[in-house]
């Protein structure tokens, strides 16, 4: 039986999904732990910091699980990549849900009120980028998986 090399779309898609997981799970964990406006903010009540630690841990662990699913998936086990992408999409959807209801909760995107281009909060750009990377990676990987199974 001859060795089959996965199509480039599969490889590129899987790499994009891994990178997306780093951006939506690992990077926010690092930022939230070390940014003085987040977990280390002395103005926040201890109970609020507990909730933030919970969110940080859940996002970090789900992204690490997603990275493992993406890294160990093959075109024949595309379901692993699909599951990882679903977990990532759910995590990202949590951010956009919070963004949609931030005014009702008295919340803000940024402690300093920063915006890019006069209207775009950096956190929104961050998670828009993560969701785009994840969607593009998933689409490429799905295309590559289909092409790989069609040629066998």
Q: Stretch 83-92: mean pLDDT, rounded?
A: 98
User: Measuring CA to CA, how many Å separate 57 from each of 65, 67, 74, 125, 141?
Assistant: 12, 15, 28, 22, 27
Q: Is residue 15 part of a domain?
A: yes
Number of domains in the chain: 1
Q: What is the residue whose two structure tokens read 């480039």?
A: 8
- Answer yes or no: pTM beyond 0.85: yes
Res 108: pLDDT: 85
Structure tokens at 45: 């009540």
Higher pLDDT, 78 or 107: 78
Res 1: pLDDT: 38
106: left (phi over 0), alpha (psi -120 to 50) or beta: left
**In which domain, by residue range, is 89 found?**
8-150
- The one-character DSSP state at 120 is B
Summarize pLDDT for 101-124 with one digit per residue, the tens: 999 998 888 877 788 888 899 999
Q: Is residue 2 part of a domain?
A: no
Q: Stretch 26-35: mean pLDDT, rounded?
A: 94
Query: CB count, 10 Å around CB of 121?
Result: 17
**pLDDT at residue 4 greater than cutoff 80:** no
DSSP the chain: ----PPPHHHHHHHHHHHHHHIIIIIHHHHHHHH-TTTTT-TTS-HHHHHHHHHHHHHHHHHHHHHHHHHHH--GGGHHHHHHHHHHHHHHHHHHHHHHHTHHHHT--S-TT---BTTTB-HHHHHHHHHHHHHHHHHHHHHHHHHHHHHT-
Q: Is residue 1 part of a domain?
A: no
Q: Stretch 9-28: mean pLDDT, rounded?
A: 97
Res 2: pLDDT: 42
**pLDDT at residue 89 greater than cutoff 80:** yes
């Amino acid at each position: 039986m001859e060795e089959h090399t996965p199509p480039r779309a599969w490889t590129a898609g899987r790499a994009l999904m891994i990178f997306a997981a780093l951006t939506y799970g690992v990077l926010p964990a690092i930022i939230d732990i070390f940014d003085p406006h987040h977990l280390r903010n002395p103005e926040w009540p201890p109970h609020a910091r507990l909730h933030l630690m919970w969110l940080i841990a859940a996002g970090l662990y789900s992204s690490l699980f997603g990275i493992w699913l993406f890294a160990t998936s093959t075109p024949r086990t595309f379901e692993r990549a699909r599951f990882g992408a679903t977990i990532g999409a759910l995590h990202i959807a949590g951010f956009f849900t919070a963004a949609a209801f931030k005014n009702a909760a008295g919340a803000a995107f940024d402690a300093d009120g920063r915006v890019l281009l006069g209207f775009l909060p950096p956190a929104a750009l961050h998670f828009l980028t993560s969701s785009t990377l994840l969607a593009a990676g998933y689409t490429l990987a799905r295309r590559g998986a289909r092409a790989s199974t069609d040629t066998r």
